[in-house]
Structure 1
Amino acid sequence: MSVLPMDATMGVLTAGLGATFGAGAVAMARGVKPRPEAEDDTAGKAGGWRWAARQIPPGWRSRRRMALAVFGGAVTGALTGWPVAGVLTVIGAITLPGLLGPDVQARGRTERLEALATWTEMLRDTLSAAAGMEQTILATCDIPPAALEKELHALAAAVREGRPLPEALEGFAHQVDDPVADVVVTSLVMAARKQASQLAALLGELADSVREQVAMRQRVEAGRASIRTGVRVTVTVTVGMAVGLTVFNRPYLDPFNTLSGQVVLATVGALFALSFTWMSVISRIEEPVRLLTPSHAGATTGGAQ
């Protein structure tokens, strides 16, 4: 049985990893490309695409930045002669900013919850002044909290256009896409249909509950801040050491020029990726099940568009 020379083996490895790298880059580019609404055949498929896109930091979803990540990986692979280093560079450039930077998604969710609590309190106070349901909603939508400004303006527009109040509220819930908002909207819908007399008191209790959730999330985020700082330090030191050795003491890294060295480098990269993925998974807060499913709310809003 003949054995390929080391140079030929490295050539085959480089070609194989290069092909895999190219296929992965194309798949990522296609995965983050937004699709027209006409292609969204079912809500389940659209939800799957939205979930996949959310795994990539928002700032890295554009084609230009994706291309920069691919270009950086190609440069790294060319300068080091290690195809695995090029692939790891692309993966790191795409995923690390979202994992190590501020949690924009969690912060946005907290801001929306605060805005929802503020709006609920506004509804309570306005209803206590003996205003009708529609007048109350229109009055509060004219001075909306910043985080819900777009959705509340759309709600006010739907009410002014003459849509039934329950349908307009369900459309609002569909836009906000939040389980807590579903609870508030469900209370308003039931009150609009059955003329509930204790709605103001219920809204006050809901507002207090939302405030408690906001406080809980803020405590969790404060605890995670130190963990993120520690991970940033670890990644910075590791990457800085690798770059420093590559530039100032390249012979020390000669073992990575071999096939076994590339396998070791890929293993180390996979371990880092696994640890970051695990950190991301355990840091997520489980969201409650929505009372108003997107398909139901979408069905009620679709006829009015």
Structure 2
Amino acid sequence: MTTPLHVAVLMGGWSAEREVSLTSGNGVADALETLGHKVTRIDMGRDVALRLAEAKPDVVFNALHGTPGEDGTVQGMLDLMGLKYTHSGLTTSVIAIDKQLTKQALVPHGIRMPLGTVVKSESLHDRDPIPRPYVLKPINEGSSVGVAIVTESGNCGHPIARDAHGPWQVFETLLAEPFIRGRELTVAVLGDRALAVTELVPNSGFYDYEAKYTDGLTTHICPAEIPDHIARTAMQMALDAHHLLGCRGTSRSDFRWDDERGEAGLYLLEVNTQPGMTPLSLVPEQARYIGMSYAELVQAIIEEAL
């Protein structure tokens, strides 16, 4: 029997991932209510501090995705208010949402990540920053928002044309990384445990925002049908990254694995400190695989926050 708590669930907000956050937040809130907790649902607006002060919760479940809920801004506010909250704290959130800072924190400790270079989007119309194929991504967005793969046969031009559709039209700076051929893997971590390895197989294209959150566009293979030593290595890398960054609660590490190169072809791409909790999300799926229900997962995240 769990001790009833008053939990404020922060969701929504104004990031590119608003709709996913609302789905995550309402799922979490429903689960908390089934467990007997009192729940205050807050679709975050600019008055969020006032609404939290009025609610006076025992703990805040942060179900926000993207900025400002995942980048340290909300974490700093909650710290100033003296409120306990789920998931990672201010410093970890600032580092983990910035893909280049994440590399600087993890690579010196032996975590293999693709070498990247930060480029001005304007410069892409003059020359390629690195040899094709390469990946361009915003430095501090999640859920594959704004990711583009630039190939020799792509239709964006040589160099990238100014009228070609892509993240260079939206973001002033981008991170350029070599494209790693192979397979998309992900590992969830809860507390001190890596849960499983899932392979993500998009029906077409790559695992972008639409493929992540549209039912039927991606096949999840859990556990991934990969060699045991690759699975162990991925799970250990995810757990090490979780601890090195100082993550709390749950995180999810995304990988590319070039299966022609064995263990040397396994690269960590990024660490998500606020992984989704929707019906299609990977952390609840891996929790189910190890025998943990959605409600038990939510309760475990709450307990670590306390």
Query: Normalising by the residue count of structure 2, what TM-score does the alignment of the two structures yield?
Result: 0.24
Q: Which has the larger radius of gyration?
A: 1
The structure richer in helix per residue is 1
Query: Normalising by the residue count of structure 1, what TM-score does the alignment of the two structures yield?
Result: 0.24
The structure richer in strand per residue is 2
